Structure 1
C-alpha cells in the first residue's frame, strides 16, 4: 500500500512538472496564431478607428495577425462579456473604453464583473471633454455657472444636455455638480447629436462633449468653451483652462481607451501584449490616429493601468450612487 502511494505521488509530481513545462513553453512561444481584438462599438466610429490602428502596429511586433471584431450593443457590455468568458490564453483581447469603468455600477444586471473578470493590460489613450455653452447664454465663465448653480431658482432651473442617462456628458456634469455643490437639471437626449443640436440652438444652455467634435464649433464661434475636464490643459486647446483652475478643486475626468484580457491570463502573455501596445501607441501613425479622434497617446504599464482602472471604477460608482443613475 505504501509503495502504491509512493508511485502515485511520484507520478503526480512528474505530471505537474510536465504540465508546467508545457505551459511555460506555450507562453514563451506566444503568440502562435492570430489574436482577436473585440471592440464594443460599430465599425467606423472613434473606438473602431483607434483599435484598428493599434492592432496593425501590435501585429507587426507580435508577428501574428490581430483581427478586429466589432460586437456593438448595450454600451459595450456584449463585447466585454464575450472577452470576460473567453479562455485566459491571450488570444482574445478587449479594446475597452471608459464605459467599462462605469457599467458595473450603472447596470444592475450584468453577466460579468468588469473588475473581477477582466485584467488591464495597458491604457492606450486619454481624451478630455469640453464644458461648453451656447454663446447667448449668461454663462461667460465657470464662476458664472457655479454662481447660478448654487442659487438655482426652481422656477428657472439651470439645464444641461446629455446623450442620455449614464452617458459621458451626464456623468461628467454630475461629477461637476457634486464637486462644486451645484443644483443642475438634466435633460437627456437619445444621442450626442440631438443634445448638441439643442445646445447650438439655445434650447439648453450647456453640455460636456468630446474635445475633437466640440473644438471646431468653439473655434467657429458657435459655442463658448468654459473649461476642459482633464487635470491638465489639453495640447489641442492650450488656451482653455481646466475646471480645477477655474475653482472646481480636484476635478479630473477623461474618456480613455485601453486593452483588457480575461483574468487569469499568464503574466508573460500580459507583458508581451503590454509591450506591443506601448510600442504601437508611440509610433507616429498611431499617435496621429489617436489625436485625430481627440485622444492623447498614453501606453501605460499594466500595473499603472490597474491602479487607474480601480480609481475610475470607484469614482464613477460614487457619481452614479449620488445622482441615483440606473440603466436596466
Structure 2
C-alpha cells in the first residue's frame, strides 16, 4: 500500500462517526437539511435520493432539501460539500463515481476520501444493457456480432465521464474486443432521452433511470450486468450468462458529510436512513427501481469506500480509461 493510500485511509478513519449510542439525545436536525445531488434531476442518484429524503423528512421532522448541482462528472456538486461547514446542515448524495473520478482527474479540487465523512451506502443498483429498439439486436450475442460487423459505428451513452455507466461500456469493449463510441452526458436522465430518440443506440444504464422507458417499450433491455439475475428483471439474463463470462459491474448510491462532521449527527443520519429503507413502502419503491437497500454503518461504509476506490482504480488502468 502506498504512503498516499495509507494517509487517505488514516484520514478517513479519523472522520468516522461515533458509535450509535452517542447519537441518542442529539437535537439534530433543528432546521432544514440540504442534500446536494451533483447531477441534473431525473437521473438515478436524484430518483433514489428523493425517495429516501422524503422518508427522512417524515421521520426526522424537518425538510430534507434536494439541491441539484450538476457538472464535471459530479465534481462541482461534490466540491460544494467538501468545502461546506461540518455542522450537519449539508450532505452529499452521490454514486460510485465518487471513488472513480480521482483515478482520472489529477486536478481534483478535493480528496474523495479524506475530505468527506462516510455516512452510509443507501443502496446497490445493478446496471442493465438497454438499446434503442431500432438497433437490430435482441441479445448480448447479437450485440457483439453487430459491433464486430460495424466497428465504431455504434454510440453508447453514459451519465458522464468516469461514471460506472461509462466504465461498464469500457469493460464490455475490453472483454469482447469490440469498438464503440462513448458519448458522455450531464447525468443519466438526458442520456436516456437521447437513447429513446435514437441519437445514440446503447447504454449500460442504472435500472432506476430507464425502468419507465423499458416498461413502456421505448427501450429494449438485453441483460443485467451483475453476476446474478435481479428481481426487477427476473427473466433477463446476465451479461455473463449471455456470452461474456466474468462480466460483473454495479453501481451504488451513498451519503457523505463534510470532513470532521460531528459523530452524533453522522450516526443519527445513518440510523434514520436504515430505518427509512426498512419501511415496506420505501423498500417497495426501491425495488421498483431495481435498488437493493444497504444502509451500512459509517464504519462499514468507510471500509467499503476504500475497497471500491482501489477496485475501480484497477479497472480504469486495465481498460485505459481517460476523461477524453
Partner of 1:112: 110
Alignment of 1:1-328 (within 5 A): 29-32=25-28, 33-34=30-31, 36-40=33-37, 41-42=39-40, 46-61=44-59, 63-74=60-71, 75-135=73-133, 137=135, 139-146=137-144, 152=148, 156-157=151-152, 159-163=154-158, 165-178=161-174, 180-188=175-183, 190=185, 205-218=201-214, 223-321=219-317, 322-326=319-323
Q: Judging changes above 3 Å, is the alpha-carbon distance between structure 1 residues 250 and 70 closer, same or farther for their aligned structure 2 residues?
A: same
Larger radius of gyration: 1
Deviation for aligned residue 1:240? 0.4
Distance 1:213 1:46 in 2: 5
> What is the number of equivalent residue pairs in this alignment?
298
Partner secondary structure for residue 91 of structure 2: strand
Deviation for aligned residue 1:220? 5.3
Distance 2:190 2:255 in 1: 31
Distance 1:174 1:38 in 2: 31
Distance 1:202 1:53 in 2: 30
Q: Which runs of no fewer than 5 residues in structure 2 stay unpaired?
A: 1-21
Q: Judging changes above 3 Å, is the alpha-carbon distance between structure 1 residues 96 and 235 closer, same or farther for their aligned structure 2 residues?
A: same
More helix by share: 1
Deviation for aligned residue 1:98? 2.5
Partner of 1:13: none
Distance 2:26 2:89 in 1: 9
Distance 2:101 2:224 in 1: 24
Q: What's the TM-score, normalizing by structure 1?
A: 0.74
Contact kept, 8 Å, 1:274 with 1:301, in 2: the verdict is: yes
Contact kept, 8 Å, 1:54 with 1:280, in 2: the verdict is: yes
Q: What's the TM-score, normalizing by structure 2?
A: 0.74
Q: Judging changes above 3 Å, is the alpha-carbon distance between structure 1 residues 134 and 107 closer, same or farther for their aligned structure 2 residues?
A: same
Partner secondary structure for residue 252 of structure 2: strand
Partner of 1:23: none
Q: Which runs of no fewer than 5 residues in structure 1 stay unpaired?
A: 1-25
Deviation per CA, 1:272-326, whole angstroms, max 9, x where unpaired? Answer: 2211110011113332443454433322233332333233323333333333312
Contact kept, 8 Å, 1:58 with 1:277, in 2: the verdict is: yes
RMSD over aligned Cα atoms: 3.5
Contact kept, 8 Å, 1:50 with 1:289, in 2: the verdict is: no
Partner secondary structure for residue 115 of structure 1: coil
Contact kept, 8 Å, 1:159 with 1:206, in 2: the verdict is: yes
Contact kept, 8 Å, 1:230 with 1:254, in 2: the verdict is: yes
Partner secondary structure for residue 203 of structure 2: strand
